[in-house]
Structure 1
Amino acid sequence: MKTFLVFLKKEFLGGLRNKKLLICLILFALIGMLSPFTAKIMPDLMASMVPESIQITIADPTSIDAWLQFYSNIGTIGLLVFVILFTDTISAEISHGTFIQLITKGLPKTTIVLAKACYLSILWSLSFLLSASVSAFYTMIYFHDDSAVQVPSALVSYWLFGLLAISILLLGSSFAKSIYQGLLFLGVCYLMGMLGNLWSQLTNWNPYSLSSQFPNYLTDQIKLGELLPALLLTCFLIIACLTGAIAVLRKRKY
């Protein structure tokens, strides 16, 4: 446990030095701030782009629009930037030779993987919580309605989806020789999840549903309990990916 805590501290200090920790917190805070604001001004922006000769009716935005904007931004910007920043979290250690130094000093490979997983999970959780809290604060300021429902369920689902992305990231980084190979592996897994959602019978079992069903939570079209199989399968896959990353590192030659 002592070596785990020491290495975990090393990860946080490294995150402070290379500014990745600060980048994540600032980026996610901006996403939380701008999402409700963008939803608020979107009708005016759309109206300004339509010629005056054309009459259109644009519904007033609601809190649902604010959270839908948050969902869009957190996926296309937040989580994407997060995985790009840390895709080489293990492969970079190997290529720079620091991984061999850690092993020769007696640090178990299991400890390295688990400490990195813990660091990334804590950073993702803090960033996501910060972004969601800021978004909720500004949504209450800009919108005075209760249109959006099951927001906590939607957030928990997406948070767990982010943890799955981290575990896949670590698995890919354990065997990848470059950041591009790691991103390709993560992209293939993401594509498989998207394709799986084409079959409605698999929706409740597909881990990708934890992210794609965000809008349906807000409109009360789905309950968290309906995705219990996907939640359990996601937890299993997280453990399986971390176990796989440890196994790959034990067999990998440096």
Structure 2
Amino acid sequence: MNSFRILLKKEARENIRNYKIVWIPIVFILFGILEPITNHFLPEIMKSVGNMPEGAEFIWPELQGEDIFISLLGQYQFIGLLVIILAFMGSISGERKSGTATLLYVRPISFWSYFLSKWIVINAIVLGSVWLGFMASWYYIEVLFNSVDVRHVLLFLTTYSLSILFVVTIVLVLSASLPTGAAAGVAIVITLVFQIIDSLLGRYWWISPWKLPLYAAQWFQGDINMQHFWLTISVTILLIIGLILFGITMSKHNSAKTTV
């Protein structure tokens, strides 16, 4: 337990030192602020620079606050996930390559503590950033659009948070299993390409971790299928646990590949 606390402090200090604890929240907050502001002023921008024929009228759909939350989720599902992958793809593999891990492996540490300390700190940074981004967006939604039900927002964020936990776990497991470049490539395929496949063919299945963003959005629409939702939640949690166990195993297995 003492070594686990030490490793937690080490991970926290490292992410403070490399400013990830600063710039990652800033990225998510900026996108959170820009989404409602852009959607609010976009009709006026289009009218002023659209070069439309005289007498023509451009009808812009009237958006609600719930639509802005869903639109921002779409931004995070692409740009946000890329930020997560690029920021943490070398969390374990980078330490092996640089030789930093040698200083840890020569000590009597538990690979459970080693992997879980990274998992906890990274998730704290990422989930904190995502929530801050949505909270910043929520403020401008309330000012520029309409009031959104607090319960629906919290259910939306909680559901999407599990999706983020799943993605972070995949990235960290791949970093434990592969070199940094390969980990990034496979992570992009799994998180982004599979997401596209699910959006195109997902009508044939309803239980999948890639359905979590959809279920999160459905809290605003009121048509969520609770049976499919809870099965998806259960499957995702089991996959996260399985991936963590696999990541710990691969961390130990690949420790011999550490640069000395």
Q: Tell me if both proteins adopt one fold, taking TM over 0.5 as the criterion.
A: yes
How far apart, in 2, do the equivalents of 1:62 and 1:163 lie? 28
| Structure 1 outlier segments of 4+, above 6 Å | none
Query: In the alignment, is residue 200 of structure 1 matched against residue 203 of structure 2?
Result: yes
Q: Deviations over 1:144-198 (max 9, x none)?
A: 35599833222222111110001101110012112x2112221232233543451
Q: How far 1:46 sits from its partner (Å)? A: 3.0
Letter matched to residue 9 of structure 1: K
Q: How does 1:33-72 map to 2 (within 5 A)?
A: 33-48=33-48, 49-53=50-54, 54-72=56-74
Query: In the alignment, is residue 144 of structure 1 matched against residue 127 of structure 2?
Result: no
How far apart, in 1, do the equivalents of 2:39 and 2:29 lie? 16
How far apart, in 2, do the equivalents of 1:174 and 1:66 lie? 36
Q: How far 1:214 sits from its partner (Å)? A: 4.2
How far apart, in 1, do the equivalents of 2:61 and 2:105 lie? 60
Percent identical: 23
Query: In the alignment, is residue 93 of structure 1 matched against residue 95 of structure 2?
Result: yes
Change (3 A) 1:97 1:146: closer
Letter matched to residue 243 of structure 2: C
How far apart, in 2, do the equivalents of 1:233 and 1:46 lie? 44
Tell which deviates more after alignment, 217-226 or 77-86: 217-226
Greater relative contact order (CA < 8 Å, ≥ 6 in sequence)? 2
Give yes or no for contact 1:153–1:224 (8 Å, CA) kept in 2: no
Change (3 A) 1:100 1:224: farther
- Structure 2 segments unaligned to the other structure (5+ residues): none
- Structure 1 segments unaligned to the other structure (5+ residues): none
Q: How far 1:50 sits from its partner (Å)? A: 4.8
Query: In the alignment, is residue 20 of structure 1 matched against residue 23 of structure 2?
Result: no
Q: How far 1:129 sits from its partner (Å)? A: 1.7
Q: Which residue does the alignment assign to 1:78?
A: 80
How far apart, in 2, do the equivalents of 1:241 and 1:145 lie? 39
Aligned residues: 252
Query: In the alignment, is residue 156 of structure 1 matched against residue 158 of structure 2?
Result: yes
Give yes or no for contact 1:21–1:123 (8 Å, CA) kept in 2: yes
Q: Give the CA RMSD over aligned residues.
A: 2.2
Query: In the alignment, is residue 182 of structure 1 matched against residue 183 of structure 2?
Result: yes
Q: How far 1:78 sits from its partner (Å)? A: 2.3
Q: Which residue does the alignment assign to 1:167?
A: 169
Tell which deviates more after alignment, 129-138 or 192-201: 192-201
Change (3 A) 1:244 1:43: same
How far apart, in 2, do the equivalents of 1:194 and 1:107 lie? 40
Q: Which residue does the alignment assign to 2:4?
A: 4
Give yes or no for contact 1:64–1:148 (8 Å, CA) kept in 2: no
Tell which deviates more after alignment, 19-28 or 214-223: 214-223
How far apart, in 2, do the equivalents of 1:120 and 1:146 lie? 30
239, 242, 245: which one aligns with 2:244: 242
